[in-house]
Amino acid sequence: MSQPANPQVNTPLEIWPGKAYPLGATYDGTGTNFALFSEAAERVELCLFDADGEQTACITLPEVDGFVWHGFVPTIEPGQRYGYRVHGPYDPAAGHRCNPNKLLLDPYAKAIQGAFDWNQSLFSYNFGDPDSRNDDDSAASMPKCVVINPYFDWGVDRPPSHEYADTVIYEAHVKGLTQTHPDIPEQLRGTYAAVAHPVIIDHLKTLGVNAIELMPVHHFANDSTLIDKGLSNYWGYNTIGFLAPDPKYSSSPNPGGQVQEFKAMVRALHEEGIEVILDVVYNHTAEGNHMGPTLSMRGIDNAAYYRLVDDDKRYYMDYTGTGNSLNVGHPHSLQLIMDSLRYWVTEMHVDGFRFDLASTLAREFYDVDRLSTFFELVQQDPIVSQVKLIAEPWDVGPGGYQVGNFPPQWTEWNGKYRDTVRDYWRGEPATLDEFASRLTGSADLYEDTARRPVASINFVIAHDGFTLRDLVSYNEKHNDANGEDNNDGESHNRSWNCGVEGPTDDPEINALRSRQQRNFLTTLLLSQGVPMIAHGDELGRTQQGNNNVYCQDNELSWIDWENADTELIEFTRSVSAIRAAHPVFRRRRFFSGRPVRQRGGDGLPDIAWFAPDGSEMSDEDWDSGFAKSIAVYLNGQGIPDLDPRGQRVTDDSFVMFFNAHYEALEFVLPEERFGTSWEPVIDTAATNGEEPKTHDAGAKVTVDARSVLVLRSATVSET
């Protein structure tokens, strides 16, 4: 076996024993402590590099405690580039893949600089022969870890700590959100600094957004297969550094500067009351399956960090569709996840996490187990348990669809909400009863586990799939630009093109598409639970029918600010403002349907459902497969919540009419005891210049085809 060259150091470096904790590279003002876990290692070398990528030293870590190899190097300061070489067994059949010829990234690196140069040296086998061994030195083709300066002036930064019920989430991509905005300086576009720019913050605030959920910012690898096609990994779901913000989104030229820039972004957003939630990928890494490269954990301790096939440890269990799954049954793998989460909260001041393919984290052995060790650790952790925890409650493995089955402190991306609301507005039969359930917080999914409506993160659109504009413009995906013969992406989108596939000059179809977008946004923002808007949906963003732009880092996936639909922006702002002003749309508890008599209640139910003729919905009405229209009364006197001073929360009452039928319908308003007069506050079919009309109890109200009409009681309540 050939050995990597260890260049002579011009000035010999001292190395002291150091400490086994914390893991990673920790600068204390006098030098840097290095600590790396590996149960498989027989020796660990710390390799140092200059700004040109030349190795300047390679020194053996002198101590090992509890399988943590460590040493302290005086004079090593922030900006120093480094990596590891791990000496140990190379026996893939037994699950071991150590190879000191491969420079390895520190799993605890807080900054990584440079890009992968995809070639044979990054792989521990020879191309064409996965059972062979390759000993080419990979250092020249690897990015390098960077020692960071941990000090930052946070000033008086405090987490906004919005209650879930008051939260409006905006899912965004750092680059896609900011790359084309004309008011952002060109050198800042596509960066953390751009997200913190006043024009972006102002846009978010006027939408009523108080939490931005950033798609992956952990350091990720750009796939070689995509690079070969002239594409790139745009979304970033290919993590290789759980504590390192990716420098691709940094305007700083300094090594490690991305850390300071990220912190400055968080501080700026917090100053304006906007929380920062990170989309995190702990279920797999960029090292892929047995044919993947050796970049970090594979060469450090393969069997500890990855789930291997029990009867043939050359292969990896894959519940993610990406080649591997992190071994959440191993204590050090779990420690890495928990240390990463705590770091992003305590040092980077983020406010929560959305866990990609979270069901994978519940797979201790084979089945998904919501009581797995990972969830127990989160439950007991005094830091992580106190931030927002959002699960994407599915993976690609057997039994992976777990909507409604996560532990009580978790919220979930409600995939059933998305599917039901899409089906309802495209006119599918037999959706009325489930639509009502989704509109009112999905009690059928969450109430039995002692959760509340806020357990449901409601969304119609997310990064994965059609944009809102495309949802009403395309029946089929159009992913040819991805180079996979249109075979990638979801084929069943529950979309409706309103009569023509793609762009059209037909004014009636365009008017219907605009109305449908308003219907979706109104439904989303006035449903019980936590609404999530996908970036650009409020301004009519299109991906030209591509529902899988994971590899499209270009104008196809970026927001087109120059051609924003300003009328749709204003409509979204108005509906969001109604949500913010009226707690009846932000209830902390599920509806009971019972009369409200306690605490000064008016004796009316907290919610009531009506057929178009004004009669209360019967079982027969609910079971009717053809019904597509309904009215719902929300009692502003029936809110079972208390304000911070312990006073009962009251509000105006509302009637919402939903008509997914292809023709206009006449609805009869509820009888006088529900309210004597009603004034329109939202009409998704209204055209500019129309004067709203007040309606008396029992009057007939025309609700246009495929539209929403929201009326408020004209008698203002005391709040």
Could you give the residue numbers annotated as active site? 356, 392
Cα–Cα distance measured from residue 55 to residue 103, given in angstroms and rounded to the nearest whole number = 11
Q: How far is it, in rounded angstroms, from Cα 381 to Cα 364?
A: 19
Local structure of 245: helix, strand or coil: strand
Q: Which two tokens stand for residue 196?
A: 């913190």
- Give burial (CB, 10 Å; 0-12/13-18/19+) of 205: middle
Residues 6+ apart with CB under 8 A from 566: 539
Please report where in the chains the tokens 């204590």 appear, as a residue.
331
Q: Is 110 helix (H, G, I), strand (E, B) or coil?
A: coil
Contact 438, 417 (CB under 8 A): yes
For 556-574, the three-class secondary structure string (H helix, E strand, C coil) is CCCCCHHHCCHHHHHHHHH
Going by DSSP bridges, is the β-strand pair 31-37/43-49 parallel, antiparallel, or unpaired?
A: unpaired
Closest CA to 143 of 180, 105, 170: 105
- Rounded-to-integer distance, Cα 116 and Cα 251, Å: 20
Residue type, 63: E
CA distance 122 to 306: 19
Residue ranges with strand state E in 541-696: 607-610, 629-634, 654-659, 665-668, 677-683, 695-696
Burial 85-124 (b: 16+ CB within 10 A, else e): bbbbebebeebbbbbbbbbbbbbbbbbbbbebebeebbbb
